Structure 1
Amino acid sequence: MRSLGLGLPLASLLTGVALLFTAPAAHAADTPLRDLAAAQGKVVGTAVTGSKLTGTYGDITGAQFSSLTPGNAMKWESVEPTRGTFNWTEADQIVAFAQAHHQQVRGHTLVWHSQNPSWLTNGSWTSAQLGSLLQNHISTEVGRYKGKITAWDVVNEPFNEDGSYRSSIWYNGLGSGYIASALTWAHAADPDAKLYINDYNVEGVNAKSDALYNLVKSLKAQGVPIDGVGLQAHLILGQVPSTLQQNIQRFADLGVDVAITELDVRVQLPADATELAQQKSDFKSVVAACAAVTRCVNVTVWGFTDADSWVPSTFPGYGAATPYDENYQPKPAYYGIAEALGGSGSGGGTTPPPSGACTAAYGVSSQWDTGFTGQVTISCSGVSLASWKVNWTFGAGQRITQAWNATCTQSGTAVSCANASYNGAVPDGGSVTFGFNGSFSGSNPVPTVTLG
């Protein structure tokens, strides 16, 4: 569904590195998530950006996940930006990476109301022309990757919240029959690929998921090739539907597979230890619900690192929605996934998150032509501090011009800020924030902060 973040507003970005006082540094499970999932008969995946599949990002992607979903690379505007002119570069790159790392690929997405090329949306088409364009698109893309794609999100987000059909170029031009046609054309292009309908806010039993249920039931009765439903699961902290497992089971009882396709749990920033603990519980609940139903075959997170998340640019003030932080360190949410897949801290193959840590999180609250206001929050959970100092290196020539609630010095690009006389103590479960004004020219990237 959603575009992976490709340059998020600075006002929405946070970064922080935990310095642990009572436990060794956090590291990912000794048994990768993909192996824990395989032991449960499941697949665990992530959405990816092809250009990033190198270095640490590529290493984690290859080691931890058994399925990849192109975040944007297979959407219509990406593969055919100009009519008749195709660009398969990034999509091919992701498929090749997956093959090299023995991973499945989940194709995303063939028919959607969004991220279509302007030549298509601005055109004036008859119903016959529109149907021909759609059939050609599906046949071309599915045919290109025949035998390389395990499952396709064929139709994405066909419903409104009340269960009525969404107004779109497809529904308006072709009626609700476009869904059956799209599935039929995709099956003809690759009979072995599993074909899904994918939507959001259908995780629990509600009017929208009822409409999806009734559609799938009708399609199966008509003999239309439909193999599964995708529950996107873009969730808000603490709001996992209580009927999630029941809903998964009722779709499975129709004789189709179910996948959690775009899981993330957004948190109001800055995320504190209590919120991250709740987020762990939310991830664990979703994955456990899937693990409990035989025909729930795949759980995919929508980007595994907060540095690659769509959330901050779409929901200002929210973020920290994925299992890894911006510095590729596993968060409690990561361990929630591992535990739901059978991992544990005692012989189960995972190292649990440290019980005591203090973190420093950097944020930009406002920005103008040549200046900005920033803040750093020091938070502790399980331990406390009597004094603190944070350090970072500016990457684009930024300069601090004024600071409050801290004493800050800058030498070249290196910045060091220490507590004032009145705010050095940070209690267990508490936090301290200081702020500053700065100047910049050109760009203002967020630095990595260390606490010492």
Structure 2
Amino acid sequence: MPAPAGRARRVLAATTVAVMGTLAVGMAVAAPSSADAGPTLGQLAAAQGRYFGSATDNPTLDNAPYTAVLGSEFNQITVGNTQKWMYTEPNRGQFDYTQADKIVAFAQAHDQIVRGHTLVWHNQLPGWIDTVPAGELLGVMRDHVANVAGHYQGEVVHWDVVNEAFEEDGTRRQSVFQQKIGDSYIAEAFKAARAADPDAKLYYNDYNIEGIGAKSDAVYNLVKSFKQQGIPIDGVGLQAHLILGQVPSTLRQNIQRFADLGVDVAITELDIRMRTPRDATKDAQQAADYRTVTNACLAVARCVGITVWDFSDGYSWIPSVFPGEGAALIYDENFAKKPSYWAVHEALGGTTTTTTTTTTGNTGSGCTATYRVTGQWHGGYQAEVTVRNTGATATSGWTVRWTFAQGQTVRSLWNGVLTADGQEMTVRNAPYNGRITVDGTTAFGFIGAHTGTNDTPTVTCATA
């Protein structure tokens, strides 16, 4: 890396941290220029002395709608893959930072701080690692950490130094490092990282340690031991790959107990998956879960920030690993903000207005439709329409219609099929919710934009 470029990046990273500190002591949060947007999640988090960021990967940097959100909404970025060993040292002693440098450069161009991920992990290793003799692997590991952390010295505020070193029962994972080096490899990795970059905060990072249990107890004991021995460790990363409705009840308590050891805590890879398809009930639960996680972090002074593991459902890792599950993030596939986004926004101090204004559609047509605005904020809103079967037999399908009077638009709709003709909206049932039993109900919802008072329209309903 040329020295001038490195110096420029170091100054930028320091400036970003300084700005976050200034916001924390009372600087006003500037709103973005978009007419229908309030403060971003990054701005709101900075006002709380924290960051709210996203992981990203190299292929998505060519997607203009994606990068428009990535570069404006967040004040932190994690390099999702290309700082891992298989990319940075594909051949022994030969280092390649081409791809990771592109992500770091993107973050710097958008005044975003960078979390480094990850220096030592049992996964995504180049094949040659397995051939290194046991007596040489410690030196190889130290050299790798020194080279990678040294390359990004001053450009990365946190390093996930060691990732996922424990099994669910709290025993050591039998990785190549554990088997050939032994228990000491974690401490040695942290020492090497500190020597390579004295200013970066050094983290241990793992999944399923969000609540108190055997695995988080093992990490707690590791951190406690390191602090007692003077081994450099500055933070614990809770990955938080969570399941809908299953946020650990001990999350806040767990964050606090790590903080009480004298280390920072970060929510490093947050997503909350559901069985797909989405519906209004699942979205509401997901929003509540995201709010719970955000509030738990805000409640502990040493919880320094939250990173979602990418921000759009279209780029989530979940569907490829958990078939039939997904919709785990705060933006949908079309980069529309989901209810979970607004839950985080509000938890971080953003303002929304909740209303229960409703209109109920016609009777005598086999169904009624009730239109309800469930949340409203500057330039945007969320609405839900409940369809009730008032006929004598089960429906095989339904259609709801209304006309907007004030220039409202629908940006993202779920549990129905939308046809828009100017201001006239027609929503038909999705393939899976056309049948409604007698006196039963179903519902669809949407996120929309408005420029006026957003009065609720009169709706009509008909059954097939």
Short-chain TM bin: 0.7 to 0.9
Q: 3-state DSSP class of the match of 1:191?
A: coil
Q: Cα 1:379–1:96, aligned 2, differ >3 Å: closer, same or farther?
A: farther
Match of 1:309 among 316, 334, 350: 316
Counterpart for residue 270 of structure 2: 263
Contact 1:107-1:153 at 8 Å conserved across structures: yes
Q: Cα 1:253–1:418, aligned 2, differ >3 Å: closer, same or farther?
A: closer
Counterpart for residue 150 of structure 1: 157
The reply on whether 1:63 has 2:75 as its aligned counterpart is no
| Cα shift at 1:379 | 11
Counterpart for residue 97 of structure 1: 106
Higher normalized contact order (CA 8 Å, seq sep 6+, divided by chain length): 1
Counterpart for residue 354 of structure 1: 382
In structure 2, give the amino acid aligned to 1:49. D
CA–CA distance in 2 between the matches of 1:249 and 1:28?
37
Q: 3-state DSSP class of the match of 2:400?
A: coil
Contact 1:31-1:349 at 8 Å conserved across structures: no
CA–CA distance in 2 between the matches of 1:154 and 1:379?
55
Q: 3-state DSSP class of the match of 1:354?
A: strand
Counterpart for residue 160 of structure 1: 167
CA–CA distance in 2 between the matches of 1:430 and 1:301?
28
The reply on whether 1:429 has 2:442 as its aligned counterpart is yes
Aligned residues: 352
The reply on whether 1:249 has 2:277 as its aligned counterpart is no
Contact 1:29-1:338 at 8 Å conserved across structures: no
Counterpart for residue 106 of structure 1: 115
For residues 375-400 of structure 1, what are the alpha-carbon distances to aligned partners after superposition, in whole Å with 9 as ceiling and x for unaligned? xxx999xxx7269xxxxxxxxxxxxx
**Runs of 5+ unmatched residues, structure 2:** 1-33, 355-375, 387-395, 403-416, 418-426, 445-464
CA–CA distance in 1 between the matches of 2:397 and 2:52?
32
CA–CA distance in 1 between the matches of 2:349 and 2:216?
29
Counterparts of 1:198-237 in structure 2 under 5 Å? 198-237=205-244
| Cα shift at 1:429 | 2.9
The reply on whether 1:51 has 2:59 as its aligned counterpart is yes
The reply on whether 1:118 has 2:130 as its aligned counterpart is no
In structure 1, give the amino acid aligned to 2:137. L
Contact 1:66-1:103 at 8 Å conserved across structures: yes
CA–CA distance in 1 between the matches of 2:312 and 2:350?
21
| Cα shift at 1:248 | 0.3
Q: Cα 1:27–1:168, aligned 2, differ >3 Å: closer, same or farther?
A: farther
Contact 2:51-2:76 at 8 Å conserved across structures: yes
The reply on whether 1:324 has 2:324 as its aligned counterpart is no
In structure 2, give the amino acid aligned to 1:148. E
CA–CA distance in 2 between the matches of 1:424 and 1:264?
30
Q: Cα 1:91–1:56, aligned 2, differ >3 Å: closer, same or farther?
A: same
CA–CA distance in 2 between the matches of 1:170 and 1:253?
29
CA–CA distance in 2 between the matches of 1:419 and 1:335?
26
Q: Cα 1:88–1:349, aligned 2, differ >3 Å: closer, same or farther?
A: farther
TM-score by length of 2: 0.71
CA–CA distance in 2 between the matches of 1:260 and 1:48?
16
Counterparts of 1:22-61 in structure 2 under 5 Å? 29-53=37-61, 54-61=63-70
CA–CA distance in 2 between the matches of 1:192 and 1:350?
40
CA–CA distance in 2 between the matches of 1:346 and 1:39?
21
Counterpart for residue 369 of structure 1: none
TM-score by length of 1: 0.73
CA–CA distance in 2 between the matches of 1:232 and 1:214?
18
Q: Identical aligned pairs, as a percentage?
A: 53
| Cα shift at 1:306 | 0.7
CA–CA distance in 2 between the matches of 1:200 and 1:248?
14
| Cα shift at 1:68 | 0.5
Counterpart for residue 146 of structure 2: 139
Q: Cα 1:292–1:29, aligned 2, differ >3 Å: closer, same or farther?
A: farther
Contact 2:266-2:305 at 8 Å conserved across structures: yes
Q: Cα 1:333–1:141, aligned 2, differ >3 Å: closer, same or farther?
A: same
CA–CA distance in 2 between the matches of 1:290 and 1:176?
31
Q: 3-state DSSP class of the match of 1:261?
A: strand
Contact 1:31-1:350 at 8 Å conserved across structures: no
| Cα shift at 1:27 | 9.8
CA–CA distance in 2 between the matches of 1:72 and 1:59?
21
In structure 2, give the amino acid aligned to 1:179. I
The reply on whether 1:171 has 2:182 as its aligned counterpart is no
CA–CA distance in 2 between the matches of 1:379 and 1:254?
59
| Cα shift at 1:354 | 1.0
Contact 2:290-2:344 at 8 Å conserved across structures: yes
Q: 3-state DSSP class of the match of 1:355?
A: strand
Q: 3-state DSSP class of the match of 1:69?
A: strand
Structure showing greater Rg? 2
Counterpart for residue 400 of structure 1: none
CA–CA distance in 1 between the matches of 2:347 and 2:140?
43
Counterpart for residue 400 of structure 2: 385
